[in-house]
């Protein structure tokens, strides 16, 4: 058992490290599903004070040099729905475009009240983020065009407000507007921390409506009037009783919060990103007021970092196996020295060199296999403990068990061969005289 300890802990370490690696890989793939495949995210960019002052000073100096008294600062309409329409019409590599306008409102129905997010979007949104309908139907062209008060709800909303009834065709009050439920999203198990890190809303706890409905019936931030400057409160049809909870939305002049663009092929993501940058600059009068991100590339970079980390952990575990193999070799060499007389007796009664090699090689292999089996059990137990105690996802794959068991057997054969060969080369007469 002492000889096999190196193999036991080496195999256990290999299985545990590979389980952590598999769990990390699954977590990355789940995050990729959350942000979608081949997606590019366009969002508004807030200029910092220094850059604004620098821009103003530069504009003033240019104005002075050109003897022009006019203000040279350019006006950008911000991120608009028309930007999304133009992207889909103009860029051939684009498959889907999903504009998003997000407000936080109070939802009321049947004496129950909850604060949640209402997202105005298009049917492309559900394809971009791989969201399936459990029941009902998607927005149709008439509902999109006319801004009909319809909605698709997440599974959490259904469970809270429609726990004992079918919500399809029923109405729910979001802010001051009654919306008719036409669809229910299939529940998606997500990690709340992952959602926060990626800046994504909880799909299960969101109400989705056509983007035209939100702009027509709630608020279109691109429309600027006197009330927009005089009052922090949102004005709805001249009445001030309705106010969004998130005050940052009120001061924003972007018609949409972000636009998610899905590219047809992965290899076209970078070229499409460059085209989008130039297109946004042209549409926004040369003002660099949008930020373009490629979440998939960021996640792949994170996956690469984790792969390197897992390789390091695997290397450390492999070193444990190597040390265990050297331990077996040392013990078997010592065993040969202690059993020289036994070897001589066996040779004297007819044992061949191959018989001696097989004897010692079998002993070394059995030590390794026994240690490997114990190590497999210990590795699985360690993987479960790591998941329970640290909340790090671990997945024990059959391949990791097969590989570690195969490695342990190989270590026994490789490191047991040298002592076995040395035992077979002993001279029978000298061995019999050995004390």
Does the residue 349 lie in any domain? yes
Same domain, 231 and 338: no
For the chain, percent of residues with pLDDT exceeding 90: 9
Any domain includes 262: yes
How does residue 301 score in pLDDT terms, banded at 50, 70 and 90? low
Kindly state the percentage of the chain with pLDDT values over 70. Answer: 74
User: CA nearest 257: which of 144, 68, 414, 119?
Assistant: 119
Q: Tell me, yes or no, whether 336 and 270 share the same domain.
A: no
Give domain status of residue 35, yes or no: no
Please say if the pLDDT value at position 44 is more than 50.
yes
Whether 270 and 184 map to the same domain: the answer is yes
Establish if 124 belongs to a structural domain: yes
Same domain, 409 and 354: yes
Q: What would the mean pLDDT of 221-244 be, rounded to a whole number?
A: 49
Q: How far apart are CA 355 and CA 366, in angstroms?
A: 16
53 and 177 share a domain? yes
At 200 the pLDDT is 62
Same domain, 249 and 282: yes
| Of residues 251, 371, 356, 346, the one with CA closest to residue 11 | 371
164 and 241 in a single domain? The answer is yes
pLDDT bucket at 238, cuts 50 / 70 / 90: very low
Given pLDDT bands bounded at 50, 70 and 90, which one contains residue 293?
confident
Please indicate, yes or no, whether residues 311 and 261 belong to a single structural domain of this protein.
no
Choose the final residue of a domain: 238, 262, 288.
Answer: 288
Domain boundary among 265, 288, 311: 288
Question: Which residues neighbour 386 within 8 Å (Cβ) at sequence distance 6 or greater?
Answer: 16, 19, 20, 392, 394
In this prediction, residues 309-322 reach a mean pLDDT of 70
What does 264-302 look like in DSSP terms, one character per residue? SSGGGHHHHHHHHHHHHHHHTTT---EEEE-HHHHHHHH
**Predicted confidence (pLDDT) per residue in 47-101, tens digit:** 433 444 444 454 444 444 444 444 445 777 888 888 999 998 999 998 889 898 9
Average pLDDT, rounded, for the chain: 76
* Domain encompassing residue 323: 5-29+301-433
pLDDT value at residue 298: 60
Is 290's pLDDT higher than 80?
A: yes
Token code pair at residue 261: 């663009």
Q: Are residues 237 and 191 in the same domain?
A: yes
Q: How far apart are CA 280 and CA 290, in angstroms?
A: 8
Residue 306 lies in a domain: yes
Q: Check pLDDT > 80 for residue 339.
A: no
**Is the domain of 198 the same as that of 260?**
yes
Residue 68 lies in a domain: no
pLDDT of residue 70: 43
Distance of alpha carbon 327 from alpha carbon 420, whole angstroms: 15
pLDDT for the residue 143: 87
**Domain termination site, one of 233, 264, 288:** 288
Number of domains in the chain: 2
Least Cα distance to 366 among 356, 374, 355, 377 occurs for: 374
Pairwise CA distance, residues 247 & 233, whole Å: 9
**117 part of a folded domain:** yes
Whether residue 210 lies inside any domain: the answer is yes
């Amino acid at each position: 058992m002492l000889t096999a300890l190196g193999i036991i802990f080496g195999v256990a370490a290999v299985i545990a490290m590979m389980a952590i690696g598999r769990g990390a890989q699954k977590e990355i793939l789940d995050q990729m599903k959350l942000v979608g495949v081949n997606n590019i995210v366009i969002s508004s960019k807030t200029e910092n004070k220094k850059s604004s002052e620098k821009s103003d000073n530069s504009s003033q100096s240019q104005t002075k040099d050109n003897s022009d008294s006019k203000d040279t600062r350019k006006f950008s309409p911000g991120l608009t729905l028309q930007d999304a329409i133009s992207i889909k019409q103009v860029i051939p590599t684009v498959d889907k475009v999903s504009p998003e306008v997000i407000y936080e409102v109070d939802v009321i129905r049947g004496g129950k009240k909850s604060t949640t997010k209402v997202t105005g979007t298009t049917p492309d949104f559900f394809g971009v983020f791989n969201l399936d309908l459990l029941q009902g139907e998607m927005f149709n062209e008439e509902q999109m065009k006319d801004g009909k008060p319809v909605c698709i709800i997440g599974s959490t909303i259904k469970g809270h407000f429609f726990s004992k009834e079918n919500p399809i065709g029923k109405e729910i009050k979001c802010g001051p507007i009654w919306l008719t439920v036409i669809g229910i999203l299939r529940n998606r198990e997500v990690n709340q921390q992952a959602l926060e890190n990626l800046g994504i809303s909880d799909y299960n706890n969101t109400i989705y409506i056509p983007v035209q409905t939100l702009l027509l019936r709630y608020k279109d931030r691109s429309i600027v009037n006197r009330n927009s400057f005089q009052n922090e409160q949102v004005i709805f049809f001249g009445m001030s009783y309705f106010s969004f909870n998130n005050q940052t939305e009120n001061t924003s002049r972007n018609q949409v919060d972000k636009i998610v663009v899905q590219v047809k092929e992965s290899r076209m993501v970078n070229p499409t990103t460059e085209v989008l940058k130039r297109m946004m600059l042209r549409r926004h009068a040369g003002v660099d007021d949008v930020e373009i991100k490629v979440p998939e590339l960021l996640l792949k970079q994170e996956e690469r970092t984790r792969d390197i980390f897992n390789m390091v952990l695997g290397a450390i575990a492999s070193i444990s196996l190597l040390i265990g193999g050297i331990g077996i070799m040392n013990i078997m060499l010592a065993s040969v020295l202690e059993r020289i007389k036994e070897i001589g007796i066996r040779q004297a009664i007819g044992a061949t060199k191959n018989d001696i090699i097989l004897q010692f090689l079998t002993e070394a292999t059995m030590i390794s296999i026994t240690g490997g089996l114990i190590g497999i059990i210990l590795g699985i137990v360690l993987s479960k403990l790591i998941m329970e105690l640290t909340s790090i996802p671990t997945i024990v794959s059959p391949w990791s068990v097969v590989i570690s068991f195969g490695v342990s057997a190989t270590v026994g054969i490789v490191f047991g061969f040298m002592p076995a060969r040395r035992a077979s080369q002993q001279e029978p007469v000298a061995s019999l005289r050995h004390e």
